Chain A
Amino acid sequence: MISHFLSASELSKNDIEKLLFAARAFSTFMRKGENIGLLRGKTVVNMFFENSTRTRVSFELATRRLGGNVINFATSTSSVQKGETLIDTARNIEAMKPDCLVVRHSSAGSPATLARSVAVPVINAGDGFHQHPTQGLLDAFTIQEKLGQVEGKRVVILGDIAHSRVARSDIAILRKLGASVAVCGPPTLLPPSPEALGVEHSYRMEELLPSADVVIALRIQTERQNRMQIPSVQEYSKIWGLNQQRSNLLKPQAIILHPGPVNRGVELDPEVADGPRSVILDQVSNGILVRMAVLASVCSREELGQWLVEQNNFGGENA
């Protein structure tokens, strides 16, 4: 039975806690400057069917820091455009005998389709609007790091919820860890029935900000074809953007996250994006740690377990 890593919804609270625990252990260990060889001799193929520099680099660094080899396979065209089926593409890559596929695709469900067609574990690095489970984990890790815990925290997600894989993954993971989540954005960018996500919603962020411990602002698509959803970037920024004045409504300790890249002056004003509440760059660093945890648990589950026990026995601070 191959263990894939496809969706935050499939993870139990226990799975999430174990992965966060491993990420913390890696963080501590790497501060000592030593190598972790959990992926030694293994090859991870980054299959990116959609452009993404930072997620790809993050997975690449995570693999290398665990001693593994990386091959990058990038194409922004879908299999359809090439006249090849998605399954053909997957079988070709599989024939090269990799140990793991990290898949980013603009079509929801493609990592799941690939996972059914190949005998190699598949990690979802973001599929359409569906899921981006390592982003959900790194957001949970960052909240834990900055605020001590996720449980009991109030998290407000701002922006284009309907078309966000980040929102779906964050909601699944943060709720399982005991946070209460609310979403806010223009009605055109909220799902038809937000209640089905198990979260509260509001069209006025002023109602939600005073009680928030964490704000996650999402990147909005500013392309012209979205003009039936948002009248203009200017209006979005004025009414739905998080500016300094609105962020003053937050509690003193509240933090602001963003999955990047930030549209400065649109969903976040520059003084907020670069202000003291912003933990955006910490998210990027933490992304590598949680991806190490996911890669190790998918490719080397037993070795990871042993390694964690050893760290604990030899004075690790992760108990």
Chain B
Amino acid sequence: MPKNSSILISGGRIIDPSQNLDALMDLLVENGKIKSIDRPGQIPASKAAYVLNAKGCWILPGLIDSHVHLREPGFEYKETIETGTRAAIAGGFTSIACMANTQPVNDTPYVTAFIREKAKTVASCRVYPIGAISKGLKGEELAEIGGMVTEGAIAVSDDGVPVMNSYLMRKAMDYAKAFSVPVISHAEDLYLLGQGVMNESSLSNELGLRGNPSVAEEIMVARDIALCKLTRCPLHIAHISSAGALEHLKRAKEAGLPVTAEATPHHLILTEEAVRGYDTNMKTAPPLRSEADKAALRQALAQGLIDIIASDHAPHGLVDKAVEFDQAASGVIGLQTTVAVTLRLVNDKIISVNRWVESLTSNPAKLLNLNSGTLKPGSEGDITIIDPDKTWKFSDNDILSKSNNSPFIGWEFKGQVKHTIIGGELVFGKAHE
């Protein structure tokens, strides 16, 4: 389909929390932007070059993943901007933010510019770089945050490596205010987690694996919230995983601090029990937690205490994963399964569909100051269409990422991404049935 043409999406249910909209409506995209939304049949088909029948489907603002590792530059054997974004559109994402732990680290304007330039030529979706907080993620000196923001960085984070130095973290939060970008925290106390490779519990004891206690996260969340109170810099807690940390988050939000948090599909669906077989695809950082932690995360997501669902897509090759559990790299891929995995929470009536859409659209857009995550006329023509009733099974062969370290291979799901539209262009899904 040629770009800048027009598409009429008809017969579907538009769910757009940014305008409190949940109704059967038709939608017209024209010249890359949302043109209009109207009652079914009100927009004449003659207005559009092409009509997409969305009967039985949900029409959502294009989904945004605020936490992805694209691995390029430096670790192209795990993932590239090209392969990662191909997985993203198949998973319904129209925008993704990529973390700075590449090689070289995205800690200078040059690396940020490289990612932006490379994305222009090879990426299937919009790519927003997240710059490092510290040079080389070493936690010693500030990275060139101003320069990176100038080149298009939309947030800063040392994700993958917690910032242990509280002085540096404070200065980063002070400095970031000048550029209106949030600081994203990978909140774990490295001394306390020690050599822990799974959640500390009676199970870690039984399995003979060193434990990483959930208080290692709780302490850092508490510290970063205290620094947020001091600096008033917007703080975002990445992949929050423990009930204890949620208590701090709750108090911070009640106090009106500019704090947000995200949870990953794997922390919302799996528990430490998944580690029992020493499957390294169940090894994540922070680790999969207890049943009680999982329940607390779900409740916090339902109540809006957790703002965002983010995949923390973390591709790793066989040399990183087909090894001893304690030696294996942490992380799982998630771009293609985030929608289906977290739809389970909607299907099981744990969260409302509105909350679910919000956590993948308007909330991440707000965090990253993006002009998307909405279907308001005039905004970007980024749209995700989901068939909520389609049942399917996720298999190895479906994986578009360069790595296949998914904990969900073989799982059956209800609800599948049918079309992904970016800037008015159909980039994923069949144009004709």
Binding site for B on A (CB under 8 A): 9, 78-80, 83, 85-88, 105, 107-110, 112-113, 116, 127-131, 162, 165, 168, 191-193, 196-197
Contacts and interface: CB of A to CB of B under 8 A. Distances in A.
B323 A78 contact: yes
A108 B198 CA distance: 12
A105 B324 contact: yes
Contacts of B98: none
A108 B206 CA distance: 10
A128 B323 contact: no
A168 B327 CA distance: 22
Contact of B327 (A107, A112, A130, A193): A107
B205 A108 contact: no
B325 interface: yes
A78 B205 CA distance: 22
B278 A112 contact: yes
B324 A107 contact: yes
Contacts of B206: 9, 168, 196
B325 to A, nearest CB: 5
Contacts of A128: 208-209, 326
A8 B325 CA distance: 20
Contacts of B202: 191-193, 196-197
Contacts of A85: 318-319, 322-323
19 contacts: A78-B323, A79-B323, A79-B324, A80-B319, A80-B324, A86-B322, A87-B322, A108-B278, A108-B326, A109-B209, A110-B278, A110-B325, A113-B325, A127-B208, A130-B208, A162-B205, A165-B208, A192-B200, A196-B205
Nearest to A49: B324
The 4 closest A-B pairs by CB, nearest first: A130-B208, A109-B278, A196-B202, A107-B324
Interface of B: 200-202, 205-211, 213, 277-278, 318-319, 322-327
A168 B324 CA distance: 20
A120 to B, nearest CB: 18
Nearest to A81: B327
Contacts of A192: 200-202, 205, 211, 213
Given A192-B200, A196-B202, A110 B324 contact: yes
B208 A80 contact: no
Nearest to A9: B206
A9 B207 CA distance: 10
Nearest to B213: A192
Contacts of B327: 78-80, 107
Contact of A130 (B207, B213, B277, B323): B207
Contacts of A116: 277
Contacts of A87: 322
B324 A191 contact: no
A128 B210 CA distance: 10
B336 to A, nearest CB: 24
A87 B328 CA distance: 13
B280 to A, nearest CB: 8
- Chain A CB within 10 Å, residue with most, of B206, B324, B325: B324
B323 A86 contact: yes
Contacts of A162: 205
A109 B326 CA distance: 9
A168 B205 CA distance: 9
A130 B326 CA distance: 12
A85 B200 CA distance: 26
A80 B328 CA distance: 9
Contact of A108 (B200, B201, B207): B207
A193 B325 CA distance: 23
A192 B196 CA distance: 13
A206 B202 CA distance: 27
Given A88-B322, A192-B205, 13 more contacts: A79-B327, A85-B323, A87-B322, A108-B208, A113-B324, A113-B325, A128-B326, A129-B208, A130-B207, A130-B208, A130-B209, A131-B208, A196-B202
A226 B201 CA distance: 21
Nearest to B205: A191
A54 to B, nearest CB: 20
A105 B201 CA distance: 23
B318 A109 contact: no
A108 B319 CA distance: 18
B330 to A, nearest CB: 14
Nearest to B194: A228
Given A131-B208, A162-B205, A192-B205, A107 B322 contact: no
Contacts of B211: 192
Contacts of B209: 108-109, 128-130
Contacts of B319: 80, 83, 85
Contacts of A9: 206
A253 B398 CA distance: 66
Given A80-B324, A86-B324, A109 B207 contact: yes
A63 to B, nearest CB: 25
Nearest to A193: B202
Given A9-B206, A197-B205, A108 B322 contact: no
Nearest to A86: B323
- Chain B CB within 10 Å, residue with most, of A105, A109, A130, A191: A109
Contacts of B208: 108-109, 127-131, 165, 168
Nearest to A131: B208
